[in-house]
């Protein structure tokens, strides 16, 4: 009998993983519902909000974002402000000194590259270009870029946060040793079209409630049938 070529083996594996992902998406929606993306932030707003959200809670980052919008009339005024003036306004979001510098630099780079503080082209640009533009900005990594593209621009990309890294590794979708960029690429290939937002939100819910960092509750997990880690415990 003729043995399978390496490429046909890889495509079979990809088909299997896609099917596994589809079932996982369905099971999570059956458990937590189907979240809809109702985000109405402009891409620059989303970018600044995502920078503010690093290493703090949603409540704190939104509070810092609202203070910034209240204190400055527009992003150009933030760009022109001194970092310590920005830091004083966003202190409720934590790491204010670092974030104020990143925000000012990012706004300055956007103005230099695009001629104005407007990122609406990200809504229609090819995804590769849109991602390249965002990650070319100093201080912006693949996760922040993916958040802007998914939440504000409604593009089919998949941000990986710490919960999602942990769960997708346990499920066996993402290899143990896998960098940020590669993990984003793998998940974007696997997640069914139009399910990026729902899957992202539901994995975070699952990571907070059942598949926690320590002592995951595998016995009551709706994903156990599709999970490598869970199956290894049976």
Q: What residue is closest to ligand SF4 based on CB?
A: 230
Please tell me the distance from the alpha carbon of residue 120 to that of residue 124, in angstroms, as a whole number.
8
Q: Supply the minimum distance, in Å, between the C-beta of residue 112 and ligand SF4.
A: 44
Please tell me the distance from the alpha carbon of residue 45 to that of residue 68, in angstroms, as a whole number.
11
143, 194, 195, 220: which one is catalytic?
Answer: 143
Please tell me the distance from the alpha carbon of residue 85 to that of residue 62, in angstroms, as a whole number.
18
Active site residue 17: no
Nearest residue (CB) to ligand SF4, 41 versus 229: 229
Q: Is 214 helix (H, G, I), strand (E, B) or coil?
A: coil
Kindly report the length of the chain.
Answer: 234
Helical ranges in the chain per DSSP H: 6-32, 43-53, 58-71, 75-80, 83-89, 96-114, 127-135, 142-147, 162-171, 180-190, 196-209, 228-232
Q: Supply the minimum distance, in Å, between the C-beta of residue 90 and ligand SF4.
A: 35
Q: Supply the minimum distance, in Å, between the C-beta of residue 170 and ligand SF4.
A: 4
Q: Supply the minimum distance, in Å, between the C-beta of residue 184 and ligand SF4.
A: 20
State the residues that interact with ligand SF4 by CB under 6 A. 167, 170-171, 210-211, 216-218, 221, 223-224, 227, 229-230
Nearest residue (CB) to ligand SF4, 27 versus 50: 27
Please tell me the distance from the alpha carbon of residue 172 to that of residue 20, in angstroms, as a whole number.
10
Please tell me the distance from the alpha carbon of residue 165 to that of residue 175, in angstroms, as a whole number.
10
Nearest residue (CB) to ligand SF4, 15 versus 209: 209
Nearest residue (CB) to ligand SF4, 32 versus 229: 229
Please give the positions annotated as active site: 143
């Amino acid at each position: 009998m003729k043995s399978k070529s390496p490429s046909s083996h890889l495509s079979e594996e990809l088909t299997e993983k896609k099917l596994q992902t589809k079932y996982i998406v369905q099971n999570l929606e059956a458990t937590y519902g189907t979240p809809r993306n109702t985000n109405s932030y402009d891409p620059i707003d989303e970018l600044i909000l995502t920078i503010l959200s690093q290493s703090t809670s949603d409540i704190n980052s939104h509070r810092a974002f609202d203070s910034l919008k209240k204190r400055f009339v527009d992003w150009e005024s933030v760009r022109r402000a001194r970092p310590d003036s920005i830091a004083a306004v966003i202190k409720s979001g934590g790491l204010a000194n670092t974030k104020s510098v990143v925000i000012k630099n990012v706004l300055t780079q956007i103005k230099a590259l695009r001629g104005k503080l407007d990122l609406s082209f990200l809504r229609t640009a090819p995804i590769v270009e849109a991602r390249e533009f965002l990650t070319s900005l100093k201080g912006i990594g693949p996760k922040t870029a993916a958040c802007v593209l998914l939440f504000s621009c409604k593009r089919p990309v998949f941000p990986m946060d710490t919960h999602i890294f942990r769960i997708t590794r346990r499920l066996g979708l993402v290899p143990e040793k896998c960098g940020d960029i590669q993990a984003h690429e793998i998940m974007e290939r696997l997640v069914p079209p139009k399910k990026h937002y729902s899957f992202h939100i539901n994995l975070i819910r699952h990571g907070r409630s059942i598949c926690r960092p320590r002592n995951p509750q595998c016995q009551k997990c709706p994903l156990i049938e599709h999970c490598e880690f869970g199956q290894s415990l049976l």
